[in-house]
Amino acid sequence: MKKKFGILAVLFFLCFQLLLLPVMASATSSITWGEPQKVVYDQLYDGIFTFGDPLQGADITGMNLSTLQMTGDKKKIDLVISIYHEMAANGVVELGTEGLQDATDGNLPQFTSGARLQQGYTYLIVTADGSYAKIRIDQLLPAKVVFSFVMQSTAPLAPPASANQSGSTGNNPGTDTSNVVGSYELEEGQAAKVSWQEDVLPGDANFELYRSDNGGDYIKLTDFMLTDTSFVDKYIFVGHTYLYKIVAYDSSYNKTHTIGPMRLVIKPKSQTGSPGATKIVLQLDNKNAMVNGVKKTLDAAPALVDGRTLVPLRFIAEALGAKVKWDGSEQKISLDLNGNSIALWLNNSQAKVNGSNVMLDVPPQLIAETTMVPVRFVSENLKQAIEFDNATGTITITGQGNAQTSSSNQNLDNNSPDLSYFFHTWKMRIPGAVVTSPIPGTSDVVTNATPGADAGNLQVKSDGTYVWQSIWDGKTIKGSWRKTNLPDYPIILLRGEEGKDWKLGKSDKNTWGGGDIVIYDGQSISQNGDLQQQPKAIPISLNNTKVWVALFQSPEG
């Protein structure tokens, strides 16, 4: 058939034992899943789960995933999440980084009654009605947990795993270049309408559209299957060559055939003066952008999140000419441009630049179903110049091969506080607990505070390093720190105690445990620090020889 295309704190530990429970549903070859939903769980249980059956605690309330409502009815609770980021359910299996909608092997290990949650990890639970649900933890915050979930489906909603392997869509487009069914050219500034109506077979009902950019791997262009027989690709850029393929499925999501590939080359306009020079102009809360003077429409407007500007990933990557890859199993984004590489993970503050670990102030995240990334971080690490204009909220990126930033307009996306306050040695301690007890025979109570525990010493140096004598780890940790854009925690200590990244800030009258500084692991544990008294050297005479003796100054001076 002829192929045609159209183009147009105190360290709290889990106090309930993870008891082994029997598998509560029959094993199948695989478990398939419905459409994803996102939940903000902000009524965290403030107690400690009991042994054996944690859902039966007298004061337990939890969420029913079918209604997305909190309930105290034990027969309707699907899961409970505590302030210590523990989750209890009728049965739990940790699935690691398995994709949310990936089919799950039905030969499951034994269930436990709960799990300690990790951001980015996926968990399978047994719901109150005995079916399965799969949960991915998107954000762990002190007062809430954000997660996405899917419910067990009776029919597969995704193509087989082989659909994105060599042969069906072809990860290597080099195998397609000699089998192209059509080749087209467009000038920059136009959108490409990919149409496959003439290639649809009887019974075709769902379609996946894949695209290769400048010889890269094929990437699926939409998160969900298409039911239309055309798609408008707005993100096409001058100097790029694209290959398109369509994988067709019937109404039961069985693959029927593959259409394509088709080649599309984007040429510069004849009046364009300097090919290769890239200038991108964006504006906060505005979906319109300009690339080399050509107007583009974004899927989502640039947004300011915790002081950082986030922009749509695919737009910024392709406008810069970077190759972008998406790994759904890890939720990993890879960007490459002129020998510079960046690896990012959704809702994860850790990234890699040219193989080295770095920390982000604000991680990549989904906003309005669009993957958004921090524009400064991406642009500068791909060696592009970037400027911010406070007055207009405008961001300008130019491909000048360097990462110089306009010094007069940094307040829109950066803040550089004086950090000298922290450059000392601090005596660290775990804050004590406050216990309130009734006085027998009266309506009064008595409040007692425990002293807490010694947590070692922490020295923060002005050269970007720190030395942490950790009692908990039983060793001296030497590491590095970096600035953040968080007013309460302007420094983050990288890979500190327990291998965690710890936020560092000043204590104030509202800080639990007091002290001069506080460090926080971003989840549930904090420590307080007091300024270590520095030795005061004074001279004394001994046998007519002047000797300098270091004495510790008393608190009174």
pLDDT attached to residue 509: 67
pLDDT attached to residue 177: 64
pLDDT attached to residue 80: 93
pLDDT attached to residue 277: 58
10 by Cβ neighbours in 10 Å (0-12 / 13-18 / 19+) ranks as middle
Contact 70, 43 (CB under 8 A): yes
Phi, psi of 484 (to 5 degrees): -120, 180
Contact 272, 188 (CB under 8 A): yes
pLDDT attached to residue 186: 79
pLDDT attached to residue 55: 74
pTM of the model: 0.31
> Tens-digit pLDDT profile for the chain (557 aa)?
444 454 443 222 223 333 333 333 333 457 888 888 888 999 998 877 765 567 766 678 999 998 889 998 888 999 999 888 889 998 888 888 888 888 888 777 667 888 889 888 899 998 988 889 999 998 888 888 999 999 987 543 333 333 333 333 445 565 666 677 777 777 776 677 888 887 888 889 999 999 888 888 888 888 788 898 888 887 788 778 888 899 999 988 888 888 888 888 888 765 433 345 578 898 888 888 888 888 888 888 898 887 788 998 888 888 888 888 888 788 888 988 888 889 999 988 888 888 888 777 788 998 877 888 888 888 878 888 888 777 778 888 886 443 333 333 333 343 345 678 888 899 988 876 655 667 777 777 665 556 667 888 999 988 778 999 988 888 899 888 877 656 778 888 888 888 888 889 888 766 777 788 989 877 667 888 888 765 444 444 444 444 444 443 333 33
State how far the alpha carbon of 183 is from the alpha carbons of 168, 267, 326, 390, in Å. 20, 13, 26, 45
Q: pLDDT (tens digit, 9 = 90+) per residue, 488-498?
A: 788 888 888 88
Q: What is the CA radius of gyration of the chain?
A: 28
The contacts of residue 196 (CB under 8 Å, 6+ apart) are 5, 207, 229, 230, 246, 259, 260
pLDDT attached to residue 184: 79
pLDDT attached to residue 97: 83
Closest residue by Cα to residue 74 from 127, 18, 131: 127
∠ Cα 428 430 434 (to 5°): 140
Of the chain, the end-to-end C-alpha distance in Å amounts to 93
Contact 289, 273 (CB under 8 A): no
pLDDT attached to residue 548: 43
Q: What is the DSSP letter of 249?
A: E
Q: Residue 339, Cβ neighbours under 10 Å: how many?
A: 8
Q: Residue 551, Cβ neighbours under 10 Å: how many?
A: 10
